[in-house]
Structure 1
Amino acid sequence: MKTLMQAAALGLAMTTTIAMSAAIAQPAPPATETMFKATTFNLTATGETRLAPNMASISLGVMTEGKTAAEALTANATRMSAVMATLKRAGFAEKDIQTSNLSVNPQYRYVENQAPVLIGYQVSNQVTVVVRDLKKLGAAVDATVNAGANQVNGISFGLSDPSTAENVAREAAVRALTAKADLYARATGYRILRLVTLSEGGGYSPQPPMPMVAMAMRSEAKDASPVSAGELSVRVDITAVYELTR
């Protein structure tokens, strides 16, 4: 009798141990399984505002050539010094004038079946100028061309502080998202229980430079080159997950 009781107890202990081991070994359900027991909407919306830019950047420079690198560099330095002096006289601060490229390239003459022949050097010095008063933009381009700049490569418009425009776009995006969520809820017979997640993309991106043809000397011109700033678009994209209930 005692032996039978001991055997039964041992069997119960083994069963309990196996059950506990199975419970421990069983993996926990993934977090997404718990999340998707609820009915959710995953929606996106966009908010956008348009406004006039209040600043611009122009890329301009001087290209010179010479029989030697030293000759080309000297000529370039002379003309670029005149351009920089003109910009400073026009009221541009040193912090708003930045050298963006300086290159010295040998120039060759190519003849079929012959080795290239070195004929001289070409030096290019480019600067990017930030224009904080757009009324000065056309005059600045003209003045630098008259001072010796022979390359005007591009112009881009921007905002000195895009935060206000971004916030306007964010509010528009939230209104659009809320309206979309309410519409889907009504159409499917649900109501919004809560906002689960919200993420943002997009925002302000400076306008890429627009190419400009090189300008001729305008020493006789009375009016500045006309430049139209137009409008900028500031866009914010948002994505949200809403939990629903009946």
Structure 2
Amino acid sequence: MIIRPILAAALAATAALPALADDIARQDTPAITVSGEAHLSVPPDLAQIDAGVASDAKTARDASAANNAAMAKVLAALKAAGIDDKDYQTSRLSLQPQYERSRDASVSGFRASNRVTVKVHDVAKVASVIDTLVGAGANDVGNIYFTVAEPSKLLDQAREKAVADARRKAEIYAKAAGVTLGQPLAIAEDGAPAPVFRAKTFAAPMAAGAPTPVAQGEETLSITVSVTWAIKAGQ
């Protein structure tokens, strides 16, 4: 009665031997794993500006009406400056009560705000767009981001450089260990590649009519890869 279970276990173990052998073979393959890095610094070609209007009034209706009129002027100014309709979008609307600084904390009025996000495809025009916003009545400007609109080709260049860097390191280790570098067995990109912003600077105008100083800086695109190389005895 106990022969069948033993036989079944033996057959299962026999069936698993080829897979186990493959695992052992892979584990016994002499190899070296190194990381390669690449960084590309490029000037940004796209900017995003966050700006808005805040309006205070005694009643919610008055605050909202004043804010709507003020934002209408801002949007009209953007259109007149040649900004395409698809490049600016309302990002936040709010209407909140304002409270007295007293024990009863009674409502003293209301604040309405309307914010818009503007994309600028020519970063050289960022300062003039900010001046346009401020001149049209925007009294809350900030959160300016510079980036690269299409980083794919640049990231592909970085990937090639990262693999080359991994090979360079692997060859150094192989030479020091007295072995020969073979074919790559595995390549893995570490994490999702993301731009590293080196500069996001904005300074509000110091005086009426003064140009807005803006520094766009550079954006650094970074890639890290892990590469496993086969190695064999040196010749």
TM over 0.5: yes
TM-score band, normalised by shorter chain: 0.7 to 0.9
Q: Find the aligned partners of 1:198 and 1:175 in 2 and give their Cα distance.
A: 12
**TM-score after normalising by structure 2:** 0.86
Tell me if the contact between 1:162 and 1:204 (Cα under 8 Å) persists in the aligned partners: no
Match of 1:244 in 2: 231
- 1:58 Cα offset (Å): 0.8
| Equivalent residues in 2 for 1:70-219, closer than 5 Å | 70-112=61-103, 115-201=104-190, 202-205=192-195, 207=197, 210=200, 212=202, 215=205, 218=208
| Equivalent residues in 2 for 1:8-87, closer than 5 Å | 20-26=7-13, 28=17, 29=20, 32-87=23-78
Q: Find the aligned partners of 2:22 and 2:94 in 1 and give their Cα distance.
A: 57
AA matched with 1:66: A
- 1:20 Cα offset (Å): 4.9
- 1:33 Cα offset (Å): 3.7
AA matched with 1:153: G
For structure 2, the residue ranges without an aligned partner over 5 or more in a row are none
Q: Find the aligned partners of 1:187 and 1:165 in 2 and give their Cα distance.
A: 33
Query: What root-mean-square deviation, in Å, do the aligned CA atoms of Structure 1 and Structure 2 show?
Result: 2.4
- 1:213 Cα offset (Å): 5.6
* Residue-pair matches, total: 226
- 1:35 Cα offset (Å): 2.0
* Residues 207 and 125 of structure 1: CA distance in aligned 2, closer, same or farther (over 3 Å): farther
Match of 1:229 in 2: 216
AA matched with 1:111: S
Q: Find the aligned partners of 1:199 and 1:51 in 2 and give their Cα distance.
A: 25
* Structure with larger Rg: 1
Q: Secondary structure at the match of 1:194?
A: strand
Render the CA deviation track for 1:148-174: whole Å, top value 9, x for unaligned.
000112211011211222122112111
For structure 1, the residue ranges without an aligned partner over 5 or more in a row are 1-13
Aligned-residue sequence identity (percent) comes to: 31
Tell me if the contact between 1:150 and 1:215 (Cα under 8 Å) persists in the aligned partners: no
* Residues 85 and 34 of structure 1: CA distance in aligned 2, closer, same or farther (over 3 Å): same
Tell me if the contact between 1:41 and 1:241 (Cα under 8 Å) persists in the aligned partners: yes
- 1:193 Cα offset (Å): 2.4
Tell me if the contact between 1:153 and 1:211 (Cα under 8 Å) persists in the aligned partners: no
Render the CA deviation track for 1:1-55: whole Å, top value 9, x for unaligned.
xxxxxxxxxxxxx7xx788545324255386544211122121111111111111
Match of 1:9 in 2: none
Q: Find the aligned partners of 1:206 and 1:147 in 2 and give their Cα distance.
A: 33
Tell me if the contact between 2:195 and 2:219 (Cα under 8 Å) persists in the aligned partners: no
**TM-score after normalising by structure 1:** 0.83
Q: Secondary structure at the match of 1:149?
A: coil
